[in-house]
Structure 1
Amino acid sequence: MNTPSATTVSRRTLLGGSALSVAACAMGGTAFAATSADPWDHAAWIVQSIKQTKFPKADFPITRFGAKPGDGHDNTAAIAAAIAAAHDAGGGRVIVPAGAWNSGAIHIRSNVNLHLEEGATIRFSRDPKDYPIVFTRWEGIELMNYSPFVYAHGQENVALTGSGTLDGQSGPDAWWSWKGPWGGTVEHGWKEGMADQRPARARLFAMAEDNVPVKERVFGEGDYLRPAFVQFYACDRVLIEGVKLRRSPFWQVHPVLCRNVVVRGIDISSHGPNNDGCDPESVDMMLIEDCTFDTGDDCIAVNSGRNADGRRLAAPSQNIVIRNCRMKEGHGGVVVGSQISGGAHHIYAERCRMDSPDLWYALRFKNNALRGGLLEHFHFRDIDVGQVSRAAIACDFNYEEGADGPFKPVLTGIVVERLKVAQATRVLDSQGLPGAPIGTLRLEDCTFDGVAKDSILKHSPQITLDRVRVNGKVVTTLA
C-alpha cells in the first residue's frame, strides 16, 4: 500500500482558469499559531477567522424582471436577469417574494445574495433539459454533467438566504429512480428493467482512473447521473442561511473547493437515494451551525475526492466546525468519507443532538484501500444521542469492498468527549486492515446505555477509555 505524504497540500487547477489554494491550518496566508494545549482553541480560531459575506443595500425583486408566480410560468430567465442586474450593479439581494415560483437551474454570481422571503417557494423543474451541462463534481469525481439546481462556480461573496423553501420536486417519478437498486426507507420508483445510473457511473470512474481530461468526461441525457441540489464550486466567502430544502434529487448542500463557508440555520428534509444533507468537499474554513438534517443518507459527510481524482486534486477538507445541529434520520450524523482520497483534518463537532431509529451511526469514518488519504485531528464533544440503530461510533476501512487496494488509509487522532447515548446496538464498530490499522481513538467521560451487543474491534489497537460507562458500568476496554 502507498502511504499519503504531507498534510499541507494545494490545488491550483480548475477548469476555465479558476484558481484555488488550500493550505493546512491556513487561511489567506494567516496560519493558526497554537498557544495552548486545548485543541478547541483551534476551533475557536476557525470560527473567528472565517471571512464573512457582505452585500450592498440594494434589492432586485425578480418580479421587476418579469417573474410570475404559479403554474404555467417558467421564471428561469427572469431570475437570471435579476442576478445579472445585481451583479452588474456591484451586488445586492435578489428577492424572491412570497408565492410559488417555477424555475430551472439558477446560477449565482459574485456579490449576489439570492434571498427567499417568508412564504416563498422555488419549485424546480423536473425536466432534465432545464439543467445545462456544467463543470461539476459527482461522487468525488470531476466531470461535465447536469447543472446543480442552485450553482455558482469560481464566484466570491455569494449567498443563499431567507426563510423560504427550495423544492426540488424529486420523487419516485422524477430523478430518484435514476439511482437503480436501493434499500432506502421510502419508495424511489426504480423497477427491474428500468434504465439507471450504473453504466455511466462505472464509465465515469474508469475515466478518472485513466486520467481522461475533465473536458472529455461529458455526461448528460441518457446517463442518469443526478445533479446536486445546491453546489458552490471554487467559491470564496459563501453563506447559506435559513432556507428549507425539500425533495432533493441527490446530494443537497455541496460546497466544493470553497473557502470561508458558513451554513447556518437551514432545515433539510429529504429521504431519497443519496440525499446527504451537507457534503463539504475539499473545503477550507467552514462553519455549520444550528441546522436540522433529516435525510436519506449521511446528515453531514466530509469528503475530498474519490480515488485517482482525489489524489490528482490533492485538496483536503480542513478547518471545519459543526455545532448546535440536529440530526434525525440518516446513515450517519457526522461522517468523514468515503470520497476522502484528498484527506481531512481538524474537524470539530460539538453540542449536537442525534436521535432516530433510522439513524445508523452517530459518528462515522468510512474509507478503504482504493481511496487512501490521511485523516487526522478530529474532536467531538457534548454530543447527545437518543437512539442509533447500529453503533454509536464506526471506523470502517472495508467500505464498499475496497480492502485490497494499494493505497493505505490512515485515520488517527480522534478524541470524543462527553458523548451520551441512550440506545445503540453497539458502542463501537472499528475495523481497520492488516496493513492499515485504525490509529488513536480516545473516549473521555462518555456514557452508553441500551447497548445490546459487544463492540466489533479489528485491527484497532489504540483505543483509550477514560471514565466510560456502558450500561451503567465503568469499563476500561471494549474488547
Structure 2
Amino acid sequence: MKSHVLIIAFLLSILMISCQQTTPPALISVRVDAPFEMPDIMIPDFAECAKFSIVDFGAVEGDKHKISTAIAAAISKANLAGGGTVVIPEGEWLTGQIHFKSNVNLYLAEGAVLLFSDDPEDYLPAVHTTWEGLECYNYSPLIYAYECKNVAISGKGMVKAKMDLWQTWFSRPPAHMNSLKRLYNLAAKDVPVADRQMVNDTSHLRPHFIQFNRCENVLLEGFSVRNSPFWTIHPYLCKNVVIRDLDVFAHGHNNDGVDPEMSRNMLIENCTFDQGDDAIAVKSGRNQDAWRLNSPTKNLVIRNCKVKNGHQLLAVGSELSGGIENVFMDSCSVADGASMFHLVFIKTNERRGGFVKNIHVTNIKADKMREGILGIETDVLYQWRDLVPTYERRLTPKSDIFLENIQAGDVKFISRIQGQKEMPVQNVELKNVNAQTVEDEKFINKNVTNFTYRE
C-alpha cells in the first residue's frame, strides 16, 4: 500500500512539473536595409507562450509590497517554465524595482499603468550598472535585466516614474560632484567594478529607468514611458535589440530618450520622443572602462521617429571611447516649435579615444534649430574640464559622415565642424542639405579633410 502511495505521489509530481512547462519564445528574424552590411536582428516572439497575471500571484492595487512581490514571483514562474508572458492588467500598479529573467515578456495591458516608487530603498541592493559611461554598483534601474536572453516589454500600457524624490536629486551640489570625481578616479585607475560602490547619503546618482545590461534578443514594443530619474532607455553591451512604437516623455535632468551603448545590431523605429535632453544619444563608454571592454556600438538603424522636444535629434558621444560605427538614421522628423540645438551633433574630447565612422542621416524634416544642422565638436568637457585631470590623452578619429535630403527652418549654420589640426575630421558629404534661413555663415569648418557640399 505504501509503495502505491509513493508511486501516485511520484506521478503527481511529474504531472505538476509537466504542467509548468510552456512553449519557449520563438526567435524571429528582422531584416533591415541600411547603407552598410546589416545583420538580421533576432528578437523573441511570445505569441505561443503561457500568460501569468500578477493578480494570480497576489497583486492588489495600492499595495506596493504585494505588487512588487507578485511581479517577481510571476517573472520567476515564467522563467522556470521555460518562457512566458507576465501580464500587468488594467489599473494602476505601484511597485519597486523589476528584475528580469531570461525568456520573459512583461506585457502591459491597455489601461495598465506600472507606477514606480521614488523611494531609493526600493532599488537596493546595489547592482552592476553604469553612470554616464563609467561602470559601478549603484541603485538598480527601475526596470533591470542583467545577462538575460529573449526578453521583452510589450503592450499598450504605460510605465511611469514617480518623481517627487528624484527631482530633488537633479541638482549637482558639491557632495554629488565629489562622488562623481571619486568614480572617475576609480575607473581611471582600473579599480575593480565591485569596489566602486556608489550608494551612500551624498552621491545621489539617480538610476536609469530601463536598462538591459549585457542582454541578447531584446524587444521593446508598443508602450508609453512617462518621466525618468536619469537616462530613460539604456541598452548596454547588448546584441539584437528592437525598439518600436514607443511614446517616450521625460523632461528631467539627463533625460535622454534612448542611449544605445556598446551594443550592436539594433533597430529603433516608429517612436515618439519628448525629452529634456538628447532624443537619441549613441554612446560607447567612457575612457579606461570602454578601452577595457572594447565593444563598439555598431549596426544601428533609426527610422520613422518623431521628436517633439530635446537637445539633439541624433547625438553621438561624448561617451564614445569604445567606438561607434555604422549608424543610419532615415525618415525622422522634428515637430514644429521644438527647441533643439542640432539635428546631428558629434561630440568628443581629448580623453575619449574611440572612433566615429560611417554615420548616415537621410530624409529629415525639422523646424528652427538654436544652433545648426550638423555640429562636430572635439573639446566637449563640460564640468569635467577642471574637476578631474586627463590621465591619458587619446584623440578620436572621425570619418565618413553623410547627410542627404535634410530640410530645416532657421539655423545659425549648415555645418560647424571643429576638427583638430593633428587629427582632422575626414570625409564629410552633405547633399541637398538646406535651411530656410542661415543667420551666420553656412559652413564654419576647421580642420576637415575632404568636405563636400552638393545642392
Given the two structures, how large is their TM-score scaled by the length of structure 2?
0.87
Return closer, same or farther for 1:196/1:426 CA change in 2, 3 Å cut-off. farther
Rounded Cα–Cα distance in structure 2 between residues aligned with 1:415 and 1:244: 32
CA RMSD between the two structures: 1.8
Residues 310 and 338, structure 2, Cα contact 8 Å, conserved in 1: no
Return closer, same or farther for 1:195/1:374 CA change in 2, 3 Å cut-off. closer
Q: 2:36 aligns with which of 18, 36, 42?
A: 42
Partner SS for 1:415 = strand
Task: After TM superposition, give the deviation of residue 242 of structure 1 in Å.
Answer: 1.1
Task: After TM superposition, give the deviation of residue 252 of structure 1 in Å.
Answer: 0.4
Answering whether residue 356 of structure 2 is matched by residue 369 of structure 1, we say no
Give the unaligned 5+ runs of structure 1: 1-31, 33-38, 182-193, 468-479
Match of 1:423 in 2: 410
Task: After TM superposition, give the deviation of residue 85 of structure 1 in Å.
Answer: 0.6
Partner SS for 2:43 = coil
Rounded Cα–Cα distance in structure 2 between residues aligned with 1:314 and 1:299: 25
Rounded Cα–Cα distance in structure 2 between residues aligned with 1:435 and 1:197: 36
Task: After TM superposition, give the deviation of residue 72 of structure 1 in Å.
Answer: 6.1
Match of 1:326 in 2: 306
Give me the identity figure in percent: 39
Paired residues for 1:166-177 under 5 Å: 166-170=159-163, 173-177=164-168
Letter in 2 for 1:423: D
Paired residues for 1:346-357 under 5 Å: 346-355=326-335, 356-357=337-338
Deviations 1:9-59 (A, max 9, x none): xxxxxxxxxxxxxxxxxxxxxxx9xxxxxx93536x44xx10121224210
Deviations 1:389-426 (A, max 9, x none): 11111111111168986201111000111111122222
Answering whether residue 206 of structure 2 is matched by residue 219 of structure 1, we say no
Moved more, 309-318 or 438-447: 438-447
Match of 2:189 in 1: 210
Answering whether residue 317 of structure 2 is matched by residue 337 of structure 1, we say yes
Task: After TM superposition, give the deviation of residue 160 of structure 1 in Å.
Answer: 0.7
Match of 1:381 in 2: 362
Task: After TM superposition, give the deviation of residue 429 of structure 1 in Å.
Answer: 1.8
Residues 50 and 286, structure 1, Cα contact 8 Å, conserved in 2: yes
Partner SS for 1:226 = coil
Q: 2:51 aligns with which of 12, 37, 59?
A: 59
Letter in 2 for 1:311: W
Paired residues for 1:428-467 under 5 Å: 428-454=415-441, 455-467=443-455
Answering whether residue 256 of structure 2 is matched by residue 271 of structure 1, we say no
Letter in 2 for 1:50: I
Partner SS for 1:398 = coil
Residues 180 and 195, structure 1, Cα contact 8 Å, conserved in 2: no
Task: After TM superposition, give the deviation of residue 456 of structure 1 in Å.
Answer: 2.6
Rounded Cα–Cα distance in structure 1 between residues aligned with 2:268 and 2:258: 9
Match of 2:21 in 1: none
Rounded Cα–Cα distance in structure 2 between residues aligned with 1:98 and 1:73: 19
Deviations 1:105-135 (A, max 9, x none): 0011111000101111111111100002111
Given the two structures, how large is their TM-score scaled by the length of structure 1?
0.83
Return closer, same or farther for 1:419/1:349 CA change in 2, 3 Å cut-off. same
Match of 1:301 in 2: 281
Rounded Cα–Cα distance in structure 1 between residues aligned with 2:80 and 2:174: 43
Moved more, 146-155 or 56-65: 56-65
Q: 2:133 aligns with which of 140, 160, 184?
A: 140
Partner SS for 1:109 = coil
Task: After TM superposition, give the deviation of residue 254 of structure 1 in Å.
Answer: 0.1
Task: After TM superposition, give the deviation of residue 74 of structure 1 in Å.
Answer: 4.9
Match of 1:408 in 2: 395
Moved more, 398-407 or 436-445: 398-407
Return closer, same or farther for 1:195/1:409 CA change in 2, 3 Å cut-off. closer
Letter in 1 for 2:401: I
Match of 1:13 in 2: none
Letter in 2 for 1:371: R
Letter in 2 for 1:258: C
Partner SS for 2:367 = strand
Letter in 1 for 2:155: G
Letter in 2 for 1:456: I
Answering whether residue 190 of structure 2 is matched by residue 197 of structure 1, we say no
Partner SS for 2:243 = strand
Give the unaligned 5+ runs of structure 2: 1-30
Answering whether residue 150 of structure 2 is matched by residue 157 of structure 1, we say yes
Residues 170 and 252, structure 2, Cα contact 8 Å, conserved in 1: no
Q: 1:395 aligns with which of 366, 376, 388?
A: 376
Answering whether residue 78 of structure 2 is matched by residue 86 of structure 1, we say yes
Rounded Cα–Cα distance in structure 2 between residues aligned with 1:354 and 1:197: 34
Partner SS for 1:340 = coil
Task: After TM superposition, give the deviation of residue 61 of structure 1 in Å.
Answer: 0.4
Partner SS for 2:381 = helix
Q: 1:250 aligns with which of 218, 227, 230?
A: 230
Task: After TM superposition, give the deviation of residue 323 of structure 1 in Å.
Answer: 0.2
Rounded Cα–Cα distance in structure 1 between residues aligned with 2:371 and 2:35: 32
Residues 34 and 301, structure 2, Cα contact 8 Å, conserved in 1: no
Higher share in strand = 2
Rounded Cα–Cα distance in structure 2 between residues aligned with 1:211 and 1:413: 33
Task: After TM superposition, give the deviation of residue 206 of structure 1 in Å.
Answer: 0.6
Letter in 2 for 1:453: D
Aligned residues: 413
Q: 1:311 aligns with which of 291, 299, 303?
A: 291
Task: After TM superposition, give the deviation of residue 196 of structure 1 in Å.
Answer: 5.5
Residues 304 and 330, structure 2, Cα contact 8 Å, conserved in 1: yes
Return closer, same or farther for 1:374/1:41 CA change in 2, 3 Å cut-off. closer
Residues 178 and 197, structure 1, Cα contact 8 Å, conserved in 2: no
Rounded Cα–Cα distance in structure 2 between residues aligned with 1:357 and 1:452: 18
Task: After TM superposition, give the deviation of residue 295 of structure 1 in Å.
Answer: 0.6
Answering whether residue 117 of structure 2 is matched by residue 130 of structure 1, we say no
Letter in 2 for 1:459: N
Letter in 1 for 2:240: N
Rounded Cα–Cα distance in structure 2 between residues aligned with 1:41 and 1:128: 44
Match of 1:114 in 2: 106
Moved more, 432-441 or 235-244: 432-441
Match of 1:238 in 2: 218
Rounded Cα–Cα distance in structure 2 between residues aligned with 1:105 and 1:147: 7
Match of 1:19 in 2: none
Return closer, same or farther for 1:336/1:129 CA change in 2, 3 Å cut-off. same
